[in-house]
Amino acid sequence: MPEKTFHKAQTIREKAPGVPSIVEAVQFHGVRITKNDALVKEVSELYRSKNLDELVHNSHLAARHLQEMGLLENAVALIDTSPDSKQGYVVNFLVREPKSFTAGVKAGVSTNGDADVSLNAGKQSVGGRGEAINTQYTYTVKGDHCFNISAIKPFLGWQKYSNVSATLYRSLAHMPWNQSDVDENAAIFTYNGQQWNQKLLHQMKLNAIWRTLRASRDAAFSVREQAGHTLKFSVENSVAVDTRDRPILASRGILARWATEYAGVFGDASFLKNTLDLQAAAPLPLGFILAASVQAKHLRGLGEREVHILDRCYLGGQQDVRGFGLNTIGVKADNSCLGGGASLAGVVHLYRPLIPPNMLFAHAFLASGSFASVHARNPIQQLQDSQRVSAGLGLAFVFKSIFRLELNYTFPLKYVIGDCLLPGFHIGAGVNFL
Amino acid sequence: MNAAQDWEDVSLFTPYLNDQALMYDFAECLAVQTFLRMTSLPFNVRQRPNVDFISPDGVIPLLKINKTLITGFNAIVDFVHKKGVTLTSHLSETQVADMRANISMIEHLLTTVEMYVLWKHDETYEKVTKPRFGSVFHWPLSSVLPFLKRRKILEELADKDWDSKTMDEVGEQADKVFRALSAQLGTQKYLTGELPTEADALLFGHLYTLITVRLPLTNITNILKKYTNLIEFTKRVEQQYFKQ
């Protein structure tokens, strides 16, 4: 490329809308392994830009999309005038392709909120069309292990956010709420896509999981009776509308998600599980944010056998009904929690940003959760009777969109004797919070 | 302690005896049932596909009394003894020691012979062991789990130096056990005389299983059939405790 001075897009923004444009060429600089057809799919829309403003905007979108699809590690769009015609433009993408191989170590937080360390290795854009292979080995401070290998293939195209992936994993985890351990060997196929002009997020999953439940010496007999090998084949379908500005701690917007899991064609498990998530957040005066979340789950056994303890609904913990032990709200037998057949949990939050903004928040909440047993004749009545309530004050720390850390002083307000209460200061960390 | 008062809500957990239980597990479950019938203690049998996981140490069968779990023939006999119920009160110490030796011989030698036949002999594994062991699982676990179990049992046999034995040598081991027990029984009603003990229960469990089991290989059963007093003993115990 000849020596030239480039300016940021803002400099021409005000003048651009009226300027007609014809894209004469789109050039990539730095491409070695990325396939030509993949790039064509990604940028062909640029040729339809009618004016300079649209071209600037679309070039930026294209550059970002190329990176988000894992096709390129870095892409910057530079728009140049064509030497041949007055209205002609040439779009140059200066790109860096993904490294041939990546490996790393990181400390993080598991979905259950335990600190964990993971070793990962992967290869991005394996075939030059954004396909990626990743492997990960994770162990948590509590001694859980997980080995995971996944392959993902994006569907390329203008502003298309859909992909298919296949994951194999093997995990060993301890479940303190019912005094047992579970080994899982699983194969999962996932489709992620968007419908209706990208407003509706759609996910479909096929799960095949071989689970081995091992009861510890202290486990209740009701847990022990379900120990052993079970095979679960299930199909999960979930649709969601998400207008939140940030996924982990939103200041405005709503999330509505409905997920259905059906198991029963093959394997031991046969049930239908519906989960409805609703979240809403709105800014208040003085920088306050009011947010509310509701999660309702319903489980129906379809076979003769009762729904396995591993498939039931659980509540309690720092991520939903704070102030109660993790997954301890449910039908109890001795010191074990056997879960339920339906659950309803809701949390109302009030946040006030502190310094640094968008990272640290003062946080007050009121949480409620209730459950119905798997055999419940009248689940609505049981949901009313089994309500637990807690409230608390504390700090919430959000690290980008990666995880959230809460330090709360909790007061369990409504509980029954035998509940596993955790009053006082507690730390909760994770990704999925109600 | 009065055994009758505490002996409430007693369940014996066994695998599915007709379709799932392997020879030696079937024999142990039958032995425990026979023993409990000899003591006239009441119990229910509950058949479950996952008894090896319900059992805290994986040993079959499992006796549950309220919240107490006891596993395996010997532990159950000991537990019942602690409750004050015993079948050996009429025996001298030497006789008790002899009886214990018989139990140990059956537990170790006869069980190992049965394991060898079930897991080491290819045809028996394919036609009997694998289908029975895998019967409670769905594919592909119905193939994977028998394979893993076979590997584990073959290691155990190797630890005992049994993996290099031929079928004839294993038959000799079985013959040795049958000969000793046959000599001990003689013309008596039970191993130690007129009254049954736990050794009789265990012996009956294994002999009845060996006589009735259908295997591609009949050598062990044929060896057993030479000892007519053992066959008679088995018929007698069956008549007395299971056909009334």
The pLDDT tens digits of the residues spanning A317-359 come to: 888 999 998 899 988 888 899 999 999 999 999 999 998 888 8
For A432, other C-beta atoms within 10 Å of its C-beta total 14
Structure tokens at A177: 């709420």
Structure tokens at A65: 């999309």
Label residue A13 by pLDDT band (50, 70, 90). low
> Which range among A7-11, A15-19, B48-52, B216-220 has the greatest average pLDDT?
B48-52
Cα(A340)–Cα(A2) distance, integer angstroms: 69
| CA–CA distances in Å: residue A102 to residues A107, A133, A151, A177, A402 | 17, 10, 15, 37, 20
Cα(B111)–Cα(B101) distance, integer angstroms: 15
**Chain A residues whose C-beta sits inside 8 Å of any chain B C-beta:** 210, 213-215, 217, 221, 224-229, 231, 266-268
| CA–CA distances in Å: residue B94 to residues A48, B43, B61, B99 | 102, 31, 29, 9
Chain A within 8 Å of B56 (Cβ-Cβ)? yes
Q: Inter-chain contact A231–B137, Cβ cutoff 8 Å?
A: yes
Structure tokens at A280: 């809403």
Question: Which pLDDT score is estimated for B1?
Answer: 37
User: With the CA atoms of B45, B46, B51 and B57 taken in that order, what torsion angle do they form, in degrees rounded to the nearest 10?
Assistant: -50
Contacts of B56 in chain A (CB under 8 A): 215, 217, 224
Most B CBs within 10 A among A210, A213, A217, A265, hence the mutation to make, goes to: A210
Most A CBs within 10 A among B14, B50, B51, hence the mutation to make, goes to: B50
Q: Which residues pair with A340 in a beta bridge?
A: A313
Q: Inter-chain contact A227–B48, Cβ cutoff 8 Å?
A: no
The crossing angle, in degrees rounded to 10, of helices B228-242 and B167-185 is 70
Q: Inter-chain contact A228–B50, Cβ cutoff 8 Å?
A: yes
Question: Which pLDDT score is estimated for B2?
Answer: 40
Q: Inter-chain contact B56–A227, Cβ cutoff 8 Å?
A: no
- Let me know: does B13 contact B51? Beta carbons within 8 Å: yes
- Residue B75 C-alpha, separation from nearest chain A C-alpha, in angstroms: 17
The pLDDT tens digits of the residues spanning A215-236 come to: 999 899 999 999 999 999 999 9
Question: Which member of B53, B67, B137 has the closest CB to residue A214?
Answer: B53
- Let me know: does A410 contact A423? Beta carbons within 8 Å: yes
Ranges for all domains in chain A classified under CATH 3.10.20.310:
9-96
The pLDDT tens digits of the residues spanning A114-166 come to: 778 889 999 988 888 999 999 999 988 888 899 999 999 999 988 888 999 99
In this predicted structure, the answer to whether residue A263 has a pLDDT above a threshold of 50 is yes
Question: Which member of B49, B64, B141 has the closest CB to residue A210?
Answer: B141
Ranges for all domains in chain A classified under CATH 2.40.160.50:
102-430
How does DSSP classify residue B218? -
Q: Into which CATH architecture does domain A9-96 fall? A: Roll (3.10)
Buried b (16+ CB within 10 A) or exposed e, A196-231: eeeeebebebebbbbbbbbbbeebbebbbbbbbbbb
| CA–CA distances in Å: residue B25 to residues A84, A196, B21 | 89, 60, 6
Work out the average pLDDT over B18-45: 94
Chain A within 8 Å of B67 (Cβ-Cβ)? yes
- Residue A225 C-alpha, separation from nearest chain B C-alpha, in angstroms: 5
The answer for residues whose C-beta is within 8 angstroms of residue B218's C-beta and 6 or more apart is none
Question: Which member of A217, A266, A267 has the closest CB to residue B56?
Answer: A217
Question: Which member of B54, B138, B141 has the closest CB to residue A224?
Answer: B54
Question: Which pLDDT score is estimated for B28?
Answer: 95
| CA–CA distances in Å: residue B233 to residues B23, B182, B191 | 19, 10, 9
Q: B93-242 maps to which CATH number? A: 1.20.1050.10
Question: Which pLDDT score is estimated for B3?
Answer: 47
Q: Inter-chain contact A229–B141, Cβ cutoff 8 Å?
A: yes
ipTM, two decimals, is 0.89
Phi, psi (5° rounding) for residue B40?
A: 60, 25
Question: Among residues 93-132 of chain B, which lie with CB inside 8 Å of chain A?
Answer: none
Q: In chain B, whose CA is at the least distance from the CA of A233?
A: B138
Q: In chain B, whose CA is at the least distance from the CA of A185?
A: B141
Q: Which residues pair with A369 in a beta bridge?
A: A345, A388
Ranges for all domains in chain B classified under CATH 3.40.30.10:
10-82
Q: Inter-chain contact B64–A221, Cβ cutoff 8 Å?
A: yes
Which of 2.40.160.50, 3.20.20.70, 2.60.40.10, 3.90.550.10 is the CATH number of A102-430?
2.40.160.50
Which of 2.130.10.10, 3.40.50.1820, 3.40.30.10, 3.40.710.10 is the CATH number of B10-82?
3.40.30.10
